[in-house]
Amino acid sequence: MANRTALTDGLTVRDLMLEVLRRGAGQPILALSGLQPIDPAARFLDLLSRQAEIIAPSHPGFGDSSRPADFETVYDLVHLYLDLLDSLPQEKVTVLGFSFGGWLAAEMAAACCHRIDRLILVDPFGIKLGDRESRDILDVFNAHPDTVRAAEWHDPDRFAPDFNAMTDTALVRYARARDALCLYGFQPYMYNPQLKRWLARINVPTLVLWGASDRIVTPEYGRDYAGLIPGARFAVIDGAGHHPEIEQADAFVDHVAGFIG
């Protein structure tokens, strides 16, 4: 039976100390978070950990993970997580990436797949599809907060964070993650101009999941994204925005469980 107790501990990769959330036992899944570290209380973790071991690091600059002054690009993150894969005892690991973490997961798989068993991308950023005058990805740093809130969630009144109810510690963690995210992904905004070409190098089974109500990056963007990865499956989850794992945890886990077997 899976161990469903959450444990947050530390893991050193090269000289970086990462905060890591671990839960469950069984088939290993490296879970890369999106705009914020994965919440230990998230329901999808409880469901998915019944059949898999989830290893969820906080990116450098997120949560309690350290970030050296010269660590500031997606390139740094991708190579850090490739090193993390090499440090794990399992020969192969499923990589699951959400939003910004989906971009990182796609970059990892395009660079080197030998330690990756399967790839799951959930509403990922990372590529430019439109022309120079069009915006594929909503600028969450410069758009009005109400606009971002409506674009990010299918049911914001139920699922969007309530900043007034957050503790000071939680608010600091939230702000710290946004600061680091801006550093990693602001210029160009949340994409790598070269990645679109190199997605064709991904040679592992890939599932791309999308929230039907996502307006940060739309399902149309997601279909085109999946179409650039050889053999990738694409599925839309109704009743969810940019975070289907939060708004529709059961449907999300059903898709993932069916894919990883």
pLDDT given for residue 5 in this prediction = 42
Mean pLDDT along residues 107-119: 95
Mean pLDDT along residues 125-145: 91
Has residue 2 been placed in a domain? no
Has residue 99 been placed in a domain? yes
Residues 4, 50 contacting (CB under 8 angstroms): yes
Has residue 21 been placed in a domain? yes
Assign residue 156 the CATH number of its domain: 3.40.50.1820
The neighbour count for residue 221, using CB atoms within 10 Å, is 20
Has residue 211 been placed in a domain? yes
Mean pLDDT along residues 101-116: 96
Residue type, 165: A
pLDDT given for residue 260 in this prediction = 93
pLDDT at 8 over 80: no
pLDDT given for residue 126 in this prediction = 97
Domain that holds residue 225: 7-260
Task: Please choose, from the candidates 251, 198, 250, the residue with its C-alpha nearest in 3D space to the C-alpha of residue 228.
Answer: 198
pLDDT given for residue 110 in this prediction = 97
pLDDT given for residue 29 in this prediction = 97
Residues 75, 27 contacting (CB under 8 angstroms): no
| Residues 118, 182, 137: CA angle, nearest 5 degrees | 65
Has residue 178 been placed in a domain? yes
Name the DSSP class of 4.
-
Mean pLDDT along residues 151-173: 95
Using alpha carbons, list the distances in angstroms from residue 87 to 11, 90, 223. Answer: 10, 9, 33
Distance between CA atoms of 120 and 118, rounded to whole angstroms? 7
Using alpha carbons, list the distances in angstroms from residue 14 to 11, 17, 57, 117, 175. Answer: 10, 8, 14, 23, 26
Mean pLDDT along residues 23-48: 94
Higher pLDDT, 29 or 16: 29
Task: Please choose, from the candidates 191, 180, 179, the residue with its C-alpha nearest in 3D space to the C-alpha of residue 71.
Answer: 180
Domain count, the chain: 1
Mean pLDDT along residues 216-236: 98
pLDDT at 6 over 70: no
Indicate the pTM of the whole model. 0.94
Has residue 77 been placed in a domain? yes
Tens of pLDDT, residues 238-261: 999 999 999 999 999 999 999 998
Has residue 1 been placed in a domain? no
